């Protein structure tokens, strides 16, 4: 956990497929959001906690997210999300859990080099207010590609110019977008 335990809002921040909750990206973003007085809860999916490289099946990832959220109190005060795969899993349970918002850093709209394999069907009907912070040069979904997708009107995308899947070297803007989103809810 980062930030004040008694914060008005909590951001539940899940890692991506290849990096643990203590990766440089995860630590920098968590500490940056926490510096604004928001509690940030990071956790690891079972495969990462066990030291395995291959992600668990989707049902296990989703159940893990549900379990973490169930331990944190009122879902109204929670914003869930994460980096890449962690954010995608959050997007799949956000409406079900009734959380206050969804914040994703680097959504994996499709596998790199496979734009025909979209992971967006559920995003067309998502009801949870959502912010996706995405790099314009992300191989998982560039600006040109994403602007052609059918997405829920509740989804806002903030573009980081020249950002890749990790949004570039300076995370100040991505963190500021996240803080602004969380505090607006």
pLDDT mean for each 10 residues of the chain (185 residues): 95 96 96 98 97 96 97 93 98 98 98 95 98 96 94 98 93 98 97
C-alpha 86/C-alpha 14 separation (Å) is: 5
Q: How many domains, in total, are found in the chain?
A: 1
* Tokens describing residue 80: 């869930």
Position 47 scores a pLDDT of: 97
- Examine residue 171 and state whether it is found in any structural domain, yes or no: yes
CATH of the domain at 91: 3.40.50.1820
Q: Which of 129, 132, 20 is nearest to 79 (CA)?
A: 129
Three-state DSSP at 100 gives coil
Position 64 scores a pLDDT of: 97
* Tokens describing residue 23: 């990766």
CB 75 within 8 A of CB 95: no
- Examine residue 1 and state whether it is found in any structural domain, yes or no: no
- Examine residue 3 and state whether it is found in any structural domain, yes or no: no
Domain that holds residue 107: 10-184
Position 176 scores a pLDDT of: 98
Position 11 scores a pLDDT of: 98
Any idea how long the chain is?
Answer: 185
- Examine residue 4 and state whether it is found in any structural domain, yes or no: no
Position 73 scores a pLDDT of: 84
- Examine residue 2 and state whether it is found in any structural domain, yes or no: no
DSSP 5: T
CB 160 within 8 A of CB 167: yes
């Amino acid at each position: 956990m980062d930030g004040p335990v008694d914060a008005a809002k909590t951001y539940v921040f899940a890692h991506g497929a290849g990096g643990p909750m203590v990766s440089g990206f995860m630590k920098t973003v968590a500490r940056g959001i926490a510096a604004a007085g928001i509690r940030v809860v990071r956790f690891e999916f079972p495969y990462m906690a066990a030291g395995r490289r291959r992600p668990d099946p989707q049902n296990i990832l989703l159940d893990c997210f549900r379990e973490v959220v169930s331990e944190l109190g009122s879902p109204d005060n929670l914003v869930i999300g994460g980096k890449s795969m962690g954010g995608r899993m959050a997007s799949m349970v956000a409406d079900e859990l009734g959380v206050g918002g969804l914040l994703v850093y680097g959504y994996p709209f499709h596998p790199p080099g496979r734009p025909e394999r979209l992971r967006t069907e559920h995003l067309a009907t998502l009801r949870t207010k959502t912010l996706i912070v995405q790099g314009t040069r992300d191989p998982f979904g560039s600006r040109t590609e994403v602007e052609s997708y059918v997405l829920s009107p509740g989804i806002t995308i903030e573009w980081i110019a020249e950002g890749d899947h990790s949004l570039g070297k300076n995370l100040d803007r991505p963190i500021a977008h996240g803080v602004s989103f969380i505090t607006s809810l």
